[in-house]
Amino acid sequence: MDRMTLARASAALRTALHVLFIGLTIFVAIDALVRPSDHAAAVVALAIVILATYVAGVALYDASTPLWTVATGLLVLSAEWVALFVLSPTAAFLAFPMFFLYLYTLPARWALPSVAAATAVVVVLYGWHRGYNVGAVIGPIVGAAVAVAFVGGFRTLQREVRHRQVLIDELVEARDELARREHEAGVLSERSRLAREIHDTVAQGLSSIQLLLHAAERADADHAALDHIRLARETAAANLAETRRFIEARPPVALQNQTLANALERLAVGSEPPQVTVTVDGEPGELPMPIETALLRVAQEALTNVRRHANASRAAITLTYMGDAVTLDVVDDGDGFDPGDLADAGARPFGITGMRARVEELGGSFSIESQAGSGVAVAAAFGSQP
């Protein structure tokens, strides 16, 4: 039995108790009217009072009701029941639902004495009405024992279900933790493999290019293309440093000892064409390094696309801080394109797929808006958006 099934069973038992108590109270009133009795009117009136008390108690009771309030309500209901019992022996039938009320609403240290007291009341008053015999004594005792055993068994089942649910929750948590660790181990293993491959290929190639270009610089200090050679060597050196930092899982060079805003401004320097402006809105806040790295890479890739494909004269980078959120927008006035074309098998994604994956892997959102002849707007956001 799971928690939901147990909850449904508990609700069904409460409904059955309500029906039993109300039905037996009505039966006592009808019995008083059918049988000739001097107390018929008093029995009916008292039965109505008992029903009103019971319905009010059911409407007001919940798990947060103070114990003293519950005890007071049961004491009033018990007094009314005893008064009804004095007037009509048929009220003995109400003892059974009263047993369940005590056991269901009171702690065991109070419930069991209450059941014992109610059993004694039944034995005494029923014997007073009809005479004492073995059945009049054994019947209430057996009824009380059955109620105690039933409620005790149900409470034990509730505790067992709760304990089992705790174990299930712990197992699910352990499974999720194991899956997370296995995923992390897989990521680290794949990263190590890629790092080795990059070290043995790209890094070595960049190092060789740097050395060759340096040799070319020294071979002819007056060469007409010396400035281009020097720039190529510096670019190779910078990319080699970035590659080594990637291999070692360190922050990008552009974010070393400077803010994200400063790194974005450095991207704009010497980037003509097109002319690039950088704007920072809001109060800059400290961001996790993976998020800063992702925003920087998105800006780099977006500007690369602008230079290579957009034929734009201007581009604007806007970094916006909004409390616990940050957004990056890169907008140009270039040729633009139809974003639907990216779904075509032969379309070049221009790095958009990589930008989107980088942002979404960190829990951010990525969007791109464009149409032919109206430029492109790339946006990346992290945190809660208003």
- Answer whether residue 78 is part of any domain: yes
Report pLDDT digits (tens) over 241-257.
Answer: 777 766 655 556 667 67
Question: What pLDDT shows up at residue 248?
Answer: 58
Tell whether 111 is covered by a domain: yes
- Per-residue confidence band for 233, with pLDDT thresholds at 50, 70 and 90: confident
pLDDT for the residue numbered 319: 94
Structure tokens at 31: 């019995």
| pLDDT tops 60 at residue 345 | no
Inter-CA distances, 353 with 66, 187, 303, 346, 348, Å: 60, 20, 15, 14, 10
In a domain, residue 298? The reply is yes
Is pLDDT at 272 greater than 80 in this prediction? no
Q: Looking at residue 290, which CATH number applies to its domain?
A: 3.30.565.10
298 and 328 Cβ atoms separated by less than 8 Å = yes
Name the token pair of 312.
Answer: 């734009």
Task: Among 108, 132, 156, identify where a domain stops.
Answer: 132
CA proximity to 381, closest of 366, 362, 361: 366
**Boundary-marking domain end, from 77, 97, 132:** 132
pLDDT of residue 81: 92
With respect to residue 164, please indicate whether it lies within any of the assigned structural domains: no
Q: What percent of the chain has a predicted confidence (pLDDT) above 90?
A: 26
Tell me the pairing of strands 275-281 and 325-332.
unpaired
- Predicted pLDDT at 84: 92
pLDDT tens across 74-102, in order?
999 999 999 999 999 999 999 999 998 89
pLDDT classification of 1: cutoffs 50, 70, 90: low
Asked if residue 204 is part of any domain, the answer here is no
Question: Which structural domain range is residue 330 located in?
Answer: 254-382
Indicate whether this model's pTM tops 0.75.
Answer: no
Longest CA–CA span in the chain (Å) reads 132
In a domain, 97, yes or no: yes
* Residue 48 domain flag: yes
How many beta carbons lie within 10 A of that of residue 229, not counting itself?
A: 18
- C-beta separation of 328 from 301 below 8 A: no
Instruction: Name the domain count of the chain.
Output: 2
Q: Give me the DSSP letters along 123-190.
A: HHHHHHHH---HHHHHHHHHHHHHHHHHHHHHHHHHHHHHHHHHHHHHHHHHHHHHHHHHHHHHHHHH
Phi/psi of residue 44, nearest 5 degrees: -65, -45
Residue 272: enclosing H or E segment and its boundaries?
Answer: none
In a domain, 368, yes or no: yes
Which of 105, 132, 159 is a domain's end point? Answer: 132
